[in-house]
């Protein structure tokens, strides 16, 4: 059953408020209308396009900047960051990220997104990956959006910071990793100078 324009626009506004990173194509499928209709509805409601919504959310939520690497070197688009606590990035899988014969994303792109997010969340001028344990849980395909969520777990016995990263497509986990991060100012061992 199709919704009236007024009801659709009301639902559209609520949907975008709940999931600001949803694409017009996904909205069109959800509401059973064309992408052009979604764009016109957004214009009438003064809801910006996805890229502008991402920038807006990022600007509203961060008062800090990435220290360990330039923000443009983070793979994916960082949309949330609280240094030494958590971070979120989004990576849209495009033709340059996939194998041409089957349109499945190359694993190193998913790893790079997670690893660079683990570096970005560290509140130091220098942070390097000392080790990692990773698991790919399902293939990611061309056109899918990967949302990586990093959480700082604390320090291990060597004084290295542990950052867990889980990546999702919709609600499906596609990647999980635990990164052992070397920090420029990591605590010294007892008796070390």
pLDDT in tens, 116-140: 999 989 988 888 999 999 999 999 9
């690497």: which residue's tokens?
Answer: 69
Rounded (10°) angle between helices 5-18 and 24-31: 130
Domains, the chain, ranges and CATH?
Answer: 5-49 (1.10.10.10), 62-183 (3.10.129.10)
Rounded Cα distance, 161 and 134, in Å: 16
Across the chain, which has 193 residues, the per-10-residue mean pLDDT values are 87 85 86 92 85 58 56 80 89 95 96 94 88 96 96 86 95 95 64 45
């Amino acid at each position: 059953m199709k919704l009236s324009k007024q009801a659709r626009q009301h639902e559209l506004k609520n949907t975008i408020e709940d999931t600001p990173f949803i694409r017009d194509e996904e909205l069109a499928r959800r509401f059973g209308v064309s992408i052009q209709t979604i764009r016109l509805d957004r214009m009438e409601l003064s809801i910006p396009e996805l890229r502008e919504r991402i920038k807006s959310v990022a600007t509203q939520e961060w008062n800090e900047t990435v220290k360990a690497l330039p923000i443009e070197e983070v793979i994916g688009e960082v949309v949330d960051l609280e240094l030494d606590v958590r971070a979120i990035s989004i990576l849209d899988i495009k033709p340059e990220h996939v194998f041409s014969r089957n349109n499945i994303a190359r694993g190193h792109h998913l790893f790079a997104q997670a690893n660079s997010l683990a570096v970005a969340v560290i509140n130091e001028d220098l942070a390097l990956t000392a080790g990692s344990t990773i698991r790919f849980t399902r293939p990611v395909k061309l056109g899918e959006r990967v949302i990586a969520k990093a959480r700082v777990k604390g320090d291990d016995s060597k004084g290295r910071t542990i950052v867990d990263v889980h990546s999702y497509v919709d609600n499906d986990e596609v990647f999980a990793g635990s990164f052992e991060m070397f920090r420029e100012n990591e605590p010294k061992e007892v008796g070390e100078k």
